[in-house]
Amino acid sequence: MKSKSFVDLSMKFISGMKTITRLQWLVWIAVFFILFFSILPEGGFLHAGAYTVVNVSFYATVIYGNISFLFPRLYQQGRKSAYIICVIILLVSAGLSRGYLLTALYNFYYPTMKEKMTLESIINFIVAGFLTYMLSFIFRIAMAYFELKQQSEKILVQKSQAELNLLKSQVQPHFLFNTLNNIYYEAYREAPRTAKLIERLSDIMRYFVDESPKDEVSLYTEIQFIENYIALEKIRIRHEIELNFLKDCNTELRIPPMLLMTFVENIFKHGIDKSSSENKIEITLVHQDGHLLFQTRNRIHDKPGSAGHKGFGIENLRRRLCFLYGEKFELSVDTAGNFFTAFLKVPLI
């Protein structure tokens, strides 16, 4: 049903892309025939055709000259004086051109009844241009309505595509979760410690699929994710790690997902010497005065890359914090005392 709905919306959107152009053509064709058949009884076929072409060209020049060029490029850009001047030039030049062309056509088809351009006729042509100019805004409103409708259909198509992609992406992860759970129950009878690690891995994967796409998650969820990550990282290290994780906060508070993970990931990527028995990690998470304070501290080991792990992870985190909090956050790193310390302070809204 989802796929069928998406296909239907896609076809509707593709069809809608042509709707505005088709409607404009229909309007101009209707105007052309109305003018043509109103002149035909008195002027004949050729005169009516020429007269209609001149008038339709005049209307199109004024309408599109305003709504497609002058209005968006001058008025909407704040250049109102230039817009007014250009509109006056457009109306005068278009009105005079129309007047002289129609007079020339009339004199050509009726040489015995020649007419001349007078001040009164010039004013009438310019006034007709002004009325057409006012009509252009109605034309623009109609186009904007159909464009807005088209955009709404496009959003529906994108929403349906996102839902379809989400359904597809959930098939394999949930199959994997169920498989891991089955392995967990099998392993629990023979090796409870291994079963616990499988459970942690399953929780981490579930976090990535179910929690990380959300705008916010609870501190409890984030802490549990960090603890699962630490437990899985520790099995890769030969010696025991001295790790102290202090948590003094309300775990019901909510923060953006994966906000704290960069610091912890950096510890195990740069701040651990797998051959050393002196790996010490301190992690502190405190709620204080409406802010969340998060700090990690690990020993700097004498190996390449361990002294200054301020790479892309920290910079990417800084950019994300700027997007989320503007300037209302603190992020700092320090390497004093043979320890690498990372500190983060964000407001809790």
Distance CA 93, CA 98 (A): 8
What domains does the chain contain, in order, with CATH numbers? 2-162 (no CATH), 216-347 (3.30.565.10)
Distance CA 108, CA 100 (A): 12
- pTM as predicted: 0.51
Distance CA 212, CA 113 (A): 83
- Give me 91's structure tokens: 């109306």
Distance CA 209, CA 214 (A): 10
The SS3 of residue 26 is helix
pLDDT in tens, the chain (349 residues): 444 444 444 444 445 446 667 777 888 888 888 888 887 877 678 878 888 898 888 888 888 888 888 888 888 888 889 989 998 998 888 888 888 888 888 888 777 777 777 888 888 888 888 888 888 888 777 777 777 777 777 777 777 666 656 555 544 555 666 677 777 777 777 788 888 888 888 888 888 878 888 889 999 999 999 999 998 888 878 778 889 999 999 999 999 999 999 899 988 888 888 777 778 899 999 999 999 999 999 988 765 544 455 557 888 899 899 988 988 999 999 988 788 999 999 998 6
Burial code (b: 16+ CB inside 10 Å, e: under 16) for 181-203 equals eebbeebeeeeeeebebbbbbbb
Report DSSP letters for 281-309, one per residue.
EEEEEEEETTEEEEEEEEEPPSSTTSS--
Please, which residues bridge with residue 242 across strands?
Answer: 280
